[in-house]
Amino acid sequence: MLVDIPLAELRDYRPEPTEPADFDAFWQRTLAEARAAARPATFEPCESGLRTVDVFDVTFSGYAGQPVRAWLILPQHTEGRLPCVVQYLGYNGGRGLPHEHLTWSAAGYAHLVMDSRGQGSGGSAHAVTPDPDPSGEPATPGFLTRGVGSPETYYYRRLYTDAVRAVDTALDHPRIDPDRIAVHGGSQGGGIAIAAAGLAGGVAAVMADVPFLCHFRRAVEITDGSPYSELATYCRTHRLSEERVFSTLDYFDCVNHAARATAPALFSVALMDAVCPPSTVFAAYNRWAGEDKDMTVWKYNGHEAGGAFQTAEQIRFLTKALA
């Protein structure tokens, strides 16, 4: 069934933002520290058994200079600099294996697939990047409340910083055109793409499918689906922590990051999605700072949204956005 307010109301849904006064200063300091600690990225050729692409096992410096792994997949028989898709992954997924990521190289793009630190054991694609800085404070199982007592210790401070550094890594690669870099992801990856677009320089296009990490305060009130249920469970257990929790989350809410993103953007939303409710997606979309944006609506779908049909939309979108 439809899980949220009617589509006509969703298109005009603009909640009053809750934005910390030091939001920009916090992120400027965080990224400056990560860049100051960075070492040059490494790109080790990988024998994947694939014959139409060249695959590189990438290690770059993320949050606090800590190593983050990725795949770089380049289409063979190409010359010069290529447009690039930097991809972020869904909740508890990892970079997996190179043959799981062939769409964008087949379409003629360089493709950088970033691992998610500490994730990748959720039963699908695996990861190889550890998270060496978990907070020692109590947390609900999962990642959404890890270190939530402070923006300084929150898990997504590290993951968002990794995402920006992935864009930096693409910008510096000699086979990638620095003027044609897109960020992309679904669910958690879609939220990270929004954050990266607002925080990183050099993003030319954004594709955010049914994004997670948007409008936390509403999400926990209208869905008991995971992962947002982790927040409700935490607050149900730590009964006096609500304001502290949501004050931390305001630094990571993609509604606030969208207000700083200006690149052309293609969003998608599913009206039967109880994981990332439609109003939370529209809250970020309607606050997007750039004027060139579009939303694909999948009325009868849940969190799977448009699937391969949305990929076809994205290929058309990038052909124009990165022309």
Q: Indicate which residues carry an active-site annotation.
A: 187, 273, 303
Between CA 202 and CA 209, with CA 203 as vertex, the angle to 5 degrees is: 165
DSSP assignment, residue 277? -
Helices (H), the chain: 7-10, 23-36, 103-106, 155-172, 188-199, 216-222, 228-237, 242-249, 254-258, 278-285, 308-321
* Residue reference for tokens 């929150």: 154
Query: Which residues, including other chains, have CB under 8 Å from residue 203's CB and lie 6 or more apart?
Result: 167, 181, 182, 183, 196, 197, 261, 263
Cα 147 to Cα 243: distance, rounded to the nearest angstrom: 15
Q: Is 118 left (phi over 0), alpha (psi -120 to 50) or beta?
A: left
Strand partners, 189: none
Residue 64's CB: how many other CB atoms inside 10 A? Answer: 16
3-class SS of residue 268: strand
Cα 6 to Cα 13, 211, 266, 267, 304, distances in angstroms: 10, 19, 21, 18, 20
Closest Cα to residue 142, out of 119, 117, 115, 124? Answer: 119
Cα 129 to Cα 132: distance, rounded to the nearest angstrom: 9
DSSP assignment, residue 251? T
DSSP assignment, residue 100? G
Closest Cα to residue 125, out of 166, 72, 71, 161? Answer: 71
